[in-house]
Copies of this chain bind each other. A is one copy, B any other.
Amino acid sequence: MTFTLGRSFFKSDTMVKAVELEKSYKLLNHGPTVLVSAAHGDQRNVMAAAWSMPLDFSPPKLCVVIESSSFTRQLVDAEGSFALNVPTRLLADTTLQVGHCTGSEIDKFAKFKIETFPASQIRAPLISGCVGWLECKVIREERNEKNYDLFIAEIVAAWADTRAFENGRWKKLTPDLQTLHYIAGGAFFLAADTLEIDV
């Protein structure tokens, strides 16, 4: 059950808070594998992407590669927006599963029991169980999209699970909340240990 309360909301034991836009790049700065969600009309989809990165601080922008043959790409092209969702260890299975089939043939949300909640600025659903969410509006750069499947987008809203990220910064992550960093063949590195250097 979800309660909306000002700019934050609670979902079971999770508290999701808005992330200041200027700090939203930090959700991607350490290089996690993400889930790309999109919707257009009554269609929606989700795919996995290891290839994304921040691009600018203010206004905040990011890059992501969305293959031209994917169903998500059709939705992003039509709608002009998408969300990046930062999954954790608990969603590792889901992250692999949605990367190994196409939404043009099945409803991935039903098949893999993926829960969602609404975004604030765009139509794409946000994926429950993630620890960070970036709502993005595409900045049309046709040459990049056509030649490289490369999308540039402005981050128009961002959210984080406060158990993992708060006050513009990642916390020490408990095992369940560790982000995924895809290697190959079903294996991920986990953002488990941290190293702090006096600067």
How many A residues, CB 8 Å from partner?
Answer: 52
- Partner of A32 from B31, B51, B194 at Cβ < 8 Å: B31
- Partner of A194 from B33, B143, B190, B198 at Cβ < 8 Å: B190
CA distance A143 to B148 in the complex (A): 14
CA distance A30 to B191 in the complex (A): 10
The oligomer's copy count stands at 2
A78 close to chain B: CB less than 8 A: no
Question: Would you give the shortest CB distance from A188 to chain B, in whole angstroms?
Answer: 5
A41 close to chain B: CB less than 8 A: no
CB neighbours (8 Å) of A183 from chain B are 26, 29-30, 169-170, 194
8 A–B pairs (Cβ distance < 8 Å), ordered by A: A29-B51, A30-B31, A30-B181, A50-B54, A56-B148, A183-B194, A187-B196, A190-B193
Identify the 7 closest CB pairs spanning chains A and B, nearest first: A31-B31, A30-B181, A186-B199, A189-B191, A192-B193, A53-B53, A186-B197
Residues of chain A having any CB pair with chain B under 8 Å: 26, 29-33, 50-56, 61, 63, 65, 89, 92-93, 96, 100, 141, 143-144, 148, 150, 152, 168-170, 178-199
